[in-house]
A = this chain, B = another copy of it.
Amino acid sequence: MSQSIAANPDRLLPADPGTRRIARELLQRVQDLPIISPHGHVDAAVIEQNTPFPDPAALLVSPDHYVTRLIHASGVPLDRLRESNTAAPDSRAVWREFCKAWPLFEGTASGYWLRTQFRNVFGLEGELSEATADASYEAIAAKLQEPGFRPRELFKDFNIEVLATTDDPLDSLASHKAIAQDPTFHGRVLPTFRPDAYLNIAHPAWSANVDRLIAAAGDGGTGYGAYLTALENRRNYFVEHGAVSADHGVRTPATLKLDDADAARLFERARSGKASAQDRDDFEAHMMYQMARMSVEDGLVMTIHPGSYRNHHEPTFNTFGADTGHDIPFAINYTEAIRPVLQDFGTAKDFHLVLFTLDETVFSRELAPLAGFYPSVYLGAPWWFLDAPDAMLRFRSAVTETAGFSRSSGFIDDTRAFCSIPARHDASRRIEASFLARLVAEHRVSEDRAHELIVDIVDGSPRRVFKL
């Protein structure tokens, strides 16, 4: 293994020496601040039970669609990388495939996170290679057995202050409760209300989900009224257990205000299996409006993640399920789509609506103008495919001149890869320092003010936007 570039203290900082000096000092201001992660996909049970992580492949490769997708693109069948509905690959074999494929990750965001983890979490000094696959597997596997590498110990080591999970509306939140009541653990692990499978008629389990929802929380009622009541009740349950936000993974950002009778009619038509495609779109858009209304009432921050064509390759979905690397973004518009919600709630007191996009064109065209007027609207951080150094710089460049720095959500890691959390937040901080350093070097922001801004971006924004 040759020396890893993850060791370089100037990684991701701009090449120009004068700008780099400024960036370095800005970075120092925030490098040791605690991690606040208000949106992600780590399972609370992992923290609660604190059982050691499984082997390197099961931790770092197989479940991570960022990783398996690119290896798959190079021609390796997915069943050699992750579990299918009939078999699971051998971890050592997966790891060997991964090490062989490691050069594919040059220049990618995933490669950056992985390399940083290998060095900074697992202490590997060099680069992965096919030749050393078994050695690196064993080195990481050994670490994973050490007491210091259990989830709670890493949580502390990583300096995480807040970690939000993503949860089914009917989840008991038992793990969250147990963590909150444990006096020996000091981090905050917060649930997030994620009701997609209860709102989207096209979801295969929608009607069954609605049955369970109404039975569990409908206050004994039936129909559309009980459905809304049950959603409200479950949101309140989440609030009581520390939730600060409700997250919505929708196909498009469409919103629509229907009157109660029309909404009830659509609901009943869907329940009897007779909803048309238009009915489905209208109902989902209407339920986004309802979610906004409930957020105004119960205070949960509303986050919207639209614009991904889920499960683009049906054969892969049939064999490997969802979240296996073939969700593909498409063009969206927010200006017209989100207007019904903003007409009624755009200036509502304490309503926070965080808008994410995978379509970069809306950053300067729609999101910065929206967030630069509506008190309720915040710019979601560059997400998923855009959570990468150049893309994050493009985001800042696209939005700042219109909306400044105060209208952004703060960094969102959105990850199920627990060990990548420090690398992701570190990368974000380096990019914020790089962007601000350029503005300082171009005499657009004073150096003093930039030092205040970076602290607010890294620490103030997520606390303020997510009401932490």
Instruction: Report the minimal beta-carbon distance from A364 to chain B, rounded to whole angstroms.
Output: 6
- Asked if A347 CB lies within 8 Å of chain B CBs, one says yes
Q: Provided the pairs A15-B438, A108-B402 are in contact, do residues A330 and B333 lie with their beta carbons within 8 angstroms?
A: yes
- Asked if A226 CB lies within 8 Å of chain B CBs, one says no
The chain A residues found within 8 Å of chain B, CB to CB, are: 2, 5, 8, 10-19, 69-70, 72-75, 77, 103-109, 111-112, 127, 309, 312-316, 325-331, 333, 335-336, 339, 342-343, 346-347, 358-361, 364-366, 368-375, 377, 385-386, 388-391, 394, 397-398, 400-407, 438-439, 441-446, 448-449, 453
Pick the contact of A385: B17, B309, B313, B369 (CB < 8 A): B369
Pick the contact of A365: B17, B312, B358 (CB < 8 A): B358
Cβ of A327: which chain B residues have Cβ within 8 Å of it?
Answer: 369
Can you name 25 A-B pairs with beta carbons within 8 Å?
A5-B443, A5-B445, A12-B443, A14-B15, A15-B438, A15-B441, A70-B404, A75-B375, A77-B347, A103-B449, A105-B404, A106-B404, A107-B400, A107-B405, A107-B445, A312-B339, A312-B342, A312-B373, A328-B366, A329-B369, A331-B333, A365-B385, A369-B385, A385-B402, A389-B401
Instruction: Report the minimal beta-carbon distance from A465 to chain B, rounded to whole angstroms.
Output: 13
Q: A406–B389 Cα gap in the complex (Å)?
A: 19
Q: Provided the pairs A329-B366, A404-B70 are in contact, do residues A374 and B313 lie with their beta carbons within 8 angstroms?
A: yes
Instruction: Report the minimal beta-carbon distance from A54 to chain B, rounded to whole angstroms.
Output: 25
Q: Provided the pairs A361-B331, A364-B360, A445-B5 are in contact, do residues A401 and B405 lie with their beta carbons within 8 angstroms?
A: no
Instruction: Report the minimal beta-carbon distance from A11 to chain B, rounded to whole angstroms.
Output: 4
Is B313 in contact with A373, judged by CB distance below 8 angstroms?
yes
Copies of this chain in its oligomeric complex: 3
Cβ of A394: which chain B residues have Cβ within 8 Å of it?
Answer: 397
Instruction: Report the minimal beta-carbon distance from A253 to chain B, rounded to whole angstroms.
Output: 12
Cβ of A377: which chain B residues have Cβ within 8 Å of it?
Answer: 73
Q: A313–B69 Cα gap in the complex (Å)?
A: 42
Is B108 in contact with A404, judged by CB distance below 8 angstroms?
yes
Cβ of A373: which chain B residues have Cβ within 8 Å of it?
Answer: 69-70, 72-73, 312-313, 325-326, 328
Pick the contact of A403: B70, B325, B405, B448 (CB < 8 A): B70
Q: A406–B108 Cα gap in the complex (Å)?
A: 11
Is A443 in contact with B105, judged by CB distance below 8 angstroms?
no
Is B444 in contact with A112, judged by CB distance below 8 angstroms?
yes
Q: Provided the pairs A312-B339, A313-B343, A325-B373 are in contact, do residues A401 and B406 lie with their beta carbons within 8 angstroms?
A: no
Cβ of A13: which chain B residues have Cβ within 8 Å of it?
Answer: 442-443
Pick the contact of A15: B2, B18, B398, B449 (CB < 8 A): B18
Instruction: Report the minimal beta-carbon distance from A331 to chain B, rounded to whole angstroms.
Output: 6
Is A107 in contact with B401, judged by CB distance below 8 angstroms?
yes
Cβ of A16: which chain B residues have Cβ within 8 Å of it?
Answer: 15-16
Q: Provided the pairs A313-B373, A329-B369 are in contact, do residues A385 and B404 lie with their beta carbons within 8 angstroms?
A: no
Q: A443–B116 Cα gap in the complex (Å)?
A: 12
Cβ of A385: which chain B residues have Cβ within 8 Å of it?
Answer: 364-365, 368-369, 401-402
